[in-house]
Every structure is written in structure tokens, then in C-alpha cells.
Amino acid sequence: MSTLSISLPGGTWTLGDLTVTRFGYGAMQLAGPGVMGPPADRDGALAVLREAVDIGITHIDTADAYGPRVTNQLIREALHPYSDSLHIVTKVGAIRDEQGGWPPARRPEDLRRAVHENLEALGLQTLDVVNLRLGDAQGPRPGSLAEAFETLVDLQRQGLIRHLGVSNATAEQVAEARSIAPIVCVQNMYNLAHRQDGELIDELAEQGIAYVPFFPLGGFSPLQSSALSAVAARLDATPMSVALAWLLRRSPNILLIPGTSSVAHLRENVAGAGLSLSDEDLAELDKIGR
């Protein structure tokens, strides 16, 4: 564990036997526009990854579908050989089509191929955490995950995956996965304005399972709310800082993976997530997304 990570806001969390900083980094924004193709500024993308590790972040979220392959290859180029403290979380279950869509690819053969492609692109022999990505671009969809999840459990038994998680999942699918094998995390959309998973977060916290919100800053449409702007103005902070600090405060099992393609934004986000929110701030922020 890097000594610097101790000063990152939120401290650490344990994914199975892996200690990660609660302040992590989501690498999706490093690919080109629409998460397709290479970045316009390749050196800039490599610099963001190196900065993330230099400031002590030990949790990077990625997927081979980003680019596709682009983000994983950037991570490998910037950071391989990886330090023992760095944990890369990837996901399988969707591929990319020529229009930039994210069609599901959850047949056993798709998942086996995806795990091997992630291993190869990242230059690893074992993937620390693999999330089974369910649903579609519009969000979670009901339905059994058994066949797909059991395929990943089999790959885990073969030693290719250390820990499992699910993403874009309904509460029922989370429960179904847990009835098949232990999971260490759930990665779903959640932020100040989008709080459908409130109950699930609390249940997972009781079970010691991490909840990793994607789009913590609103994703492709930045969070906009007058209450958020008012609290940010009062604290002389940016709305993004308030949004990240609120998530860290919301529950101890929440891990942050804000995305950025900018070293300056990465630094701003780390500093901003450390903002201290008063009860009055929290009460005002609680009006958003209710």
C-alpha cells in the first residue's frame, strides 16, 4: 500500500482480500469520443493514469469495451509492471458495435473470450476483480444471470479471476449472484440526482460488499441542480467536489471511480472529495433526487 494513499479522502476499503483506496479512478474517459477509438491526446491520457497512481490511488476501473481495447492498452503502457498495491477492476458482458453501441455479449463463449482478452490487453495472469455487466445502455433489465455468472465462477476456479462483482444489476440479480458465489462489489449508476439504489447500498454495506457508483459526476451530462450549486457556492467549492464528498459521506462501502481525461481535473476531484459537509449541507443536498 502506498503511504500517500492514506491521505486520499475516504481512506481504504477491502474488496475480498484486496485493499483499495475508496477514492479510485474510472478510466473510460481516456478513450476517444463516444468511448471509441484512441484519445486525441495520447500522452495526456498516459499522464492521467500515472498521476492517479502517483497520488496514491490503488483502484482503477476499466473494461476492454472502452475503445474497444484502447483503455486497457493505455493502462498497460502507462503502468505495467503494476505495483502490488494497484488493483484493476474490469468488466465483461458487453462489446461494441460499429455504431458505438454496447450490445450484450453474455453467452459463456463471449465471457470466456472477454476474460482472456482483458488478461492479454492488461498484461496480467489473473484479473483482480471482474464485474458481470448486465442490462443495457438504458439501465438494468430483469432476468436470470445464472448461466453467465456461473461461467465467471468457473473462470475464477481456474485462477483467471480473483474476485467477482456485478454491474448494471437489479437488486434481484445481486441476490441471485450472491446465491451462486460471493461477490465483492456492485457497480451501478448512482449519484446525487439518481438515487434508485439507496436501499441496495445500505443492504450491501451490512454485508461488507462495496457499492461503486458509475456516473458519480453525472457521466456524459454533468450533474445540474440549483440545490447543489447553492451548497457549492456557500462552501466556495465546485458542484463536482460536493457531489464526490457527498458520495463518500453517504455510506462507508461506496468507492469512487470518477472519470476524467485531465490531470488537473483528477487533482481537483481528489481535493474536492475531501470537502467536509455540515448537517445543513446534507439536509439541503437530500432534497435532490428525492
Ligand X SMILES: NC(=O)c1ccc[n+]([C@@H]2O[C@H](COP(=O)([O-])OP(=O)(O)OC[C@H]3O[C@@H](n4cnc5c(N)ncnc54)[C@H](OP(=O)(O)O)[C@@H]3O)[C@@H](O)[C@H]2O)c1
Catalytic residues, by residue number, are 66
Beta carbon of residue 3, minimum distance to ligand X (angstroms, whole number): 25
Beta carbon of residue 93, minimum distance to ligand X (angstroms, whole number): 9
Beta carbon of residue 48, minimum distance to ligand X (angstroms, whole number): 8
**CA–CA gap between residue 177 and residue 162 (Å, rounded):** 16
Beta carbon of residue 279, minimum distance to ligand X (angstroms, whole number): 26
Out of 240, 248, 273, 285, name the contact with ligand X by CB under 6 A.
240
Among residues 109 and 137, whose Cβ is nearest to ligand X? 137
Rg of the Cα atoms in the chain: 18
Residue 10 sits in the site that holds ligand X (CB under 6 A): no
Out of 106, 133, 163, 194, name the contact with ligand X by CB under 6 A.
133
Residue 259 sits in the site that holds ligand X (CB under 6 A): yes
Residue type at 240 in one-letter notation: M
Taking residues 148 to 187 in sequence order and writing x for each that binds ligand X by CB under 6 A, - otherwise, the string is -------------------xx------------------x
Residue 258 sits in the site that holds ligand X (CB under 6 A): yes
Among residues 184 and 257, whose Cβ is nearest to ligand X? 257
Beta carbon of residue 193, minimum distance to ligand X (angstroms, whole number): 11
**DSSP secondary structure string, 4-34?**
GGGGSTT-EEEETTEEEESB-EE-GGGSSGG
Give 104's strand partners. Answer: 94
Out of 13, 20, 22, 29, name the contact with ligand X by CB under 6 A.
29
Neighbours of 3 (CB within 10 A): 7
The answer to whether 140 and 188 have CB atoms below 8 angstroms apart is yes
- Residues 83 to 122 in contact with ligand X, rule: CB under 6 A: 91
Q: Which stretch binds ligand X (CB under 6 A): 141-149, 170-178, 209-217, 229-237?
A: 209-217
Neighbours of 16 (CB within 10 A): 18
Peptide bond into 39 cis (omega under 30): no
Out of 15, 18, 28, 132, name the contact with ligand X by CB under 6 A.
28
Handedness of CA 102, 170, 60, 45 (dihedral sign): positive
- 171 exposure class (CB count in 10 Å sphere: 0-12, 13-18, 19+): middle
Neighbours of 179 (CB within 10 A): 9
Binding site for ligand X (CB under 6 A): 26-29, 61, 91, 133, 167-168, 187, 214-219, 240, 257-262, 265, 268-269
